[in-house]
Structure 1
Amino acid sequence: MPIQLSERAAEEVKRFRTEHNFEDAMFLRIGVAGGGCSGFNYTLNFDDNFDSKADSKYESHGVDVVVDKKSALYLDGTTVDWFESLEKQGFTFENPNATKSCGCGSSFQA
């Protein structure tokens, strides 16, 4: 199952795109990188470089999402949500492949 955005996360991505005047060719790239207190960090950025051999592209609530195939192994079935409270705001990851995650939720162990 590919990575999904919640409706709230998709709306936040759309708001950010509009606010920063990104071109239509820009998509949301989600991945993992080594590091963090649990072993892997989640990465989110906007990109316009798509490689059909190395990347997979999905659509979630009107947002194009691209994941490189190596990261997809760790993110399969993950849902990205948007959290907002008085103390903090940001994207959260519900990753069924994570065996352990840090307290801040930005890194995990698979």
Structure 2
Amino acid sequence: MTAYRIPATGDPGLQPERTSLSWVRTSLAIAVNALLALRAGLVAGEPALLAVGVLLFAAAGAAVVVGVVRRRQLMGELLTITPPRGVLVGVALITLVASAAGVASILVEGRP
């Protein structure tokens, strides 16, 4: 999938801001899941959950960066409509990792 670009025709409206805010919400969700994974890893003494928590915090920071870049892409003179394929695949993978970490943190805490 190549980037689809079109010339800006005028005021972009609120689309860049909405896109940026959606990336911020995504990064907050990932960061909260990272906190849960870190807490479960510390309480249960599971280094794997600690590592996943740190990975998720890095992913949350990356989501903020992507949000800033997408906002700039949508506010320029040449609008980049489609996000890069790597970003879409990365978000999908991080979502799977975050989901697995959430399930693992529940299972670890429920263990006697």
TM-score range, shorter chain: under 0.3
Which protein is richer in helix relative to its size? 2
If the length of structure 2 is used for normalisation, what is the TM-score? 0.24
| Bigger radius of gyration | 2
Which protein is richer in strand relative to its size? 1
If the length of structure 1 is used for normalisation, what is the TM-score? 0.25
